A and B are shown apart, each in its own frame.
Chain A
Amino acid sequence: MIWLVAIGVAAGVLGGLLGVGGGVLFVPGLVIVVGLTQHQAEGTSLLAIVPVALVGALSQDRYGNVRRGDALLVGVLSIAGVAGGVALANALSGAALRVAFAALILLIAAQLVRRALREDGRGEGRETGRESKSADPQRREQP
Chain B
Amino acid sequence: MAAEGGSGRAPKLIAIGTAAGLFSGLFGVGGGTVIVPLLVFWLGYGEREATGTSLAAIVCIAGFAAAVQGAYGNVHVVDGLLVGVPAVGGVLLGTWLQQRMHVRVIALLFAAVLVASAVELLAQ
CA of A26 to CA of B82, assembled, Å = 11
Contacts of A67 in B (CB 8 A): 45, 49, 52-53
- A20 closest partner in B (C-beta): B110
Fill in one digit per residue for B102-121: 1 if any A CB lies within 8 Å of its CB, else 0: 11101110111111011111
CA of A10 to CA of B114, assembled, Å = 13
Q: How far is the CB of A23 from chain B (nearest CB, A)?
A: 3
Interface of B, secondary structure class, is helix
Interface of A, secondary structure class, is helix
* CB within 8 Å for A8 and B62 given contacts A23-B27, A46-B24, A81-B20: no
CA of A1 to CA of B63, assembled, Å = 23
Contacts of B23 in A (CB 8 A): 81, 85
- Whether, in the assembled complex, A76 has its beta carbon less than 8 Å from a beta carbon of chain B, the answer is yes
Q: Which residues of A come within 8 Å of B, CB atoms?
A: 1, 4-5, 7-32, 34, 36, 38-57, 59-61, 63-68, 70-90, 98-106, 108-110, 112-113, 115-116, 119-120, 138
- B contact residues, range: 35 or more
> Does the CB pair B30–A109 fall under 8 Å?
no
Contacts of A36 in B (CB 8 A): 76, 79
Contacts of A52 in B (CB 8 A): 84, 87-88, 91
For chain B, residues 86 to 109, give those with C-beta under 8 angstroms from any C-beta of chain A. Answer: 86-98, 102-104, 106-108
Q: How far is the CB of B24 from chain A (nearest CB, A)?
A: 6
Q: How far is the CB of A62 from chain B (nearest CB, A)?
A: 10
